[in-house]
Amino acid sequence: MDQEQQSILLESASRFPPQKGVKLSYGTAGFRADASVLSAAVFRVGILAALRSLKTQSVTGVMITASHNQVSDNGVKIVDPSGGMLTQEWEPFADALVNAVDAEELVRLVIAFQEKEKIAFARTQSAGILLGRDTRPSGDFLLEAAKQGINSIVGAVASDMGILTTPQLHWMVQMRNKGKMASESDYYEQLSSSFRCLLDLIPKEATTYKIEKNLVVDGANGVGGEKLEFLKKSLNDLVIEVRNSGKKDEGILNDGVGADFVQKEKVAPRGFGPDDIGTRCASLDGDADRLVYFCLKSKNGNEIDLIDGDKILSLFALFIKEQLSILNKEENEEKNGYHVTLGVVQTAYANGASTDYLKKQGLEVVFTPTGVKYLHEKASHYDIGIYFEANGHGTILLSESFTNLLEVKNNELASIAKGSEQHRAALRLLALSKLINQAVGDALSGLLLVEAIFQHMGWSIQVWMDLYHDLPSKQLKVKVADRKSIVTANAETVVIRPSGLQEAINSETAKFPRGRAFVRPSGTEDVVRVYAEATTQEAADSLANSVAQRVANFCTA
């Protein structure tokens, strides 16, 4: 790094001094805190995004959002060139950079990291960073901080893409690095055209059922409601009513609304009541990367049947499995069969009933530690990998080799069996690959895929709810002096330290029919999280309490 670049960095960083006592850690959600203390962190993330772009010689992204957090919070995260999250190898540097005590230490850290990573600086434009923000009032001034961070790296250029959902920015970065059109209008066109394609391929027998095409969506008073209002104009085969869309005086972002609220509290969001009983409803979170469905019960307008990420995953898996079965129909498996690896990826928080159901359908189910970065990476090992967390965040990944195979198969069938079910199955999977956002969980693309599959199968929401019934569960937190005293393995399902704790958990679990429990240290606070499930809520509560007591005993011994 030459002297001029050092001077620019030093002068710019001096304008954004960190607040004393504020220490931040980069996780799945990036950095999050009260918006009033984030300016310095966002400025420094701008520097980080520029360095990442220089290192990879690709476009990166910076998203200003705090997702489902309260409106006074905000956050910032980097979109890697793949369209996914920042590579884990750079997270320690992100932490060090954001927590540098002053401008001088920041410059020293950047110089050392540049030398270690062999990042070349250039006088001409050599780094491109796309910027996005959600609808939070603090987004404007934080976005300006990010721009100044980017501009402090010579050759880096920031492009403000405006107010976006988080998945839209991820998609734009991914498409830009593939050399494809990547504007917001391109995003809408790809989703709507793929959705229409799937509807055009619905089997004739499915159209004999009366499909309820009305859908009511809770937009969490966030950016997703605003974008869905625009997107729905191009969806003639689906009637969408958006509530909590973020319009003035309609409500507060994430306050009694949104997918996170609905999934955790298991009640209807604000703006829904007895008049909606029997209607298919969905809820987005604040930045539209989570999606859950729900149906209001008749006995109480506030009670709901929740359809969470586990059931969304099950719906997608059944549809894909069906299309693969059709595609391989009448093929000689040894010579012409298409040996596709299809994997379902869950965490230990997935309800045991969902896992049992998926396995009974003949699907391969594997587990990872908690966190989207682990789920996404594992899903990428399959030709088709599907992952969802219960909170409604997830997506489908289709490998490039499988997508290429589909294109070849489609061309073959178009010439010898155009319009056959095999041909239509290939077309459906190709349409799915474009409708689903493969960069990250996307509530808008996920919602359209759910609705397309619903019409394909001719299902009611009750059929979906009855696929399986969740086992009652309970989650608790146990305060401990040092969460690192708990060490887990096997995707966080087994405790290996302290010695004897896992045996104690097993002893408690054995007391309950279909009992299951695990514990894991929190990634952000000195607590140990306890999860338990059993055949009744009373049993799940009792198991969780007894396991929590065991944790307390072992961690204070």
Active site residues: 67
Where does the pLDDT of residue 334 fall: very low under 50, low under 70, confident under 90, or very high at 90 and above? very low
In this structure, the answer to whether residues 363 and 455 fall within a common structural domain is yes
User: Which of 252, 283, 307 is a domain's end point?
Assistant: 307
Q: Is residue 453 within 8 Å of residue 319, measured between CB atoms?
A: yes
Q: Is residue 214 within 8 Å of residue 241, measured between CB atoms?
A: yes
Residue whose pair of structure tokens reads 């490039």 in the numeric block: 400
Q: What is the pLDDT of residue 209?
A: 53
Residue 220 in domain: yes
Residue 239 in domain: yes
pTM, full prediction: 0.94
What token pair was written down for 529? 């999280």
In this structure, the answer to whether residues 346 and 253 fall within a common structural domain is no
For 314-330, write each residue's pLDDT tens digit.
Answer: 999 999 999 999 998 75
CATH number for the domain that contains residue 72:
3.40.120.10
Q: What is the pLDDT of residue 337?
A: 52
CATH number for the domain that contains residue 533:
3.30.310.50
Residue 216 and residue 468: Cα distance in Å, rounded?
24
Residue 411 in domain: yes
Q: How many CB atoms lie within 10 A of CB 249?
A: 4
pLDDT at 181 over 70: yes
What is the average per-residue pLDDT within 375-379? 97
Q: Strand, coil or helix: what is 186?
A: helix
For 164-173, write each residue's pLDDT tens digit.
Answer: 999 999 999 9
In this structure, the answer to whether residues 381 and 427 fall within a common structural domain is yes
In this structure, the answer to whether residues 72 and 52 fall within a common structural domain is yes
- Mean per-residue pLDDT over the chain, rounded: 93
Residue 175 in domain: no
In this structure, the answer to whether residues 90 and 214 fall within a common structural domain is no
Residue 510 in domain: yes
Task: Give the domain range for residue 207.
Answer: 193-307
Residue 13 and residue 152: Cα distance in Å, rounded?
8
Binding residues: 67, 285, 287, 289, 389-391, 520-524, 529
What token pair was written down for 557? 């011994």
What token pair was written down for 14? 């001096």
Q: Is residue 389 within 8 Å of residue 260, measured between CB atoms?
A: no
In this structure, the answer to whether residues 199 and 263 fall within a common structural domain is yes
pLDDT at 125 over 80: no
In this structure, the answer to whether residues 337 and 430 fall within a common structural domain is yes
In this structure, the answer to whether residues 79 and 111 fall within a common structural domain is yes
Where does the pLDDT of residue 236 fall: very low under 50, low under 70, confident under 90, or very high at 90 and above? confident
Residue 544 in domain: yes
What token pair was written down for 424? 């239509």
Q: Is residue 242 within 8 Å of residue 219, measured between CB atoms?
A: yes
Cis-peptide, bond into residue 498, ω within 30° of zero: yes
Among 79, 88, 84, residue whose Cα is nearest residue 132: 79
The count of domains in the chain is 4
In this structure, the answer to whether residues 488 and 550 fall within a common structural domain is yes
CATH number for the domain that contains residue 398:
3.40.120
For 266-292, write each residue's pLDDT tens digit.
Answer: 999 999 999 999 899 999 999 999 999
DSSP state of 66: -
Strands 281-284 and 473-479, bridge-based pairing: unpaired
Residue 150 in domain: yes
Could you tell me the sign of the dihedral formed by the alpha carbons of 239, 243, 248, 250, in that order? Answer: positive
Q: Is residue 257 within 8 Å of residue 283, measured between CB atoms?
A: yes
What token pair was written down for 26? 């980069």
Binding residues for substrate: 389-391, 520-524, 529
Q: What is the pLDDT of residue 335?
A: 40
pLDDT at 557 over 60: no
Q: What is the pLDDT of residue 333?
A: 44
Compute, in degrees rounded to 10, the torsion defined by CA atoms 385, 391, 392, 393.
-50
For 204-220, write each residue's pLDDT tens digit.
Answer: 776 545 667 789 999 99
Residue 176 in domain: no
Q: Is residue 455 within 8 Å of residue 211, measured between CB atoms?
A: yes
pLDDT at 7 over 90: yes
In this structure, the answer to whether residues 316 and 409 fall within a common structural domain is yes
In this structure, the answer to whether residues 412 and 437 fall within a common structural domain is yes
Please, what's the largest Cα pairwise distance for the chain?
73
Residue 355 and residue 310: Cα distance in Å, rounded?
9
Binding residues for Mg(2+): 67, 285, 287, 289
In this structure, the answer to whether residues 7 and 87 fall within a common structural domain is yes
Which amino acid, 406? Answer: L
Residue 498 and residue 486: Cα distance in Å, rounded?
6
CA distances from 177 to 171, 430, 447, 477 (A): 10, 21, 26, 42
User: Which of 117, 143, 163 is a domain's end point?
Assistant: 163
Q: How many CB atoms lie within 10 A of CB 137?
A: 11
DSSP secondary structure string for all residues of 153-177: STTEEEEEEEE--HHHHHHHHHHHH
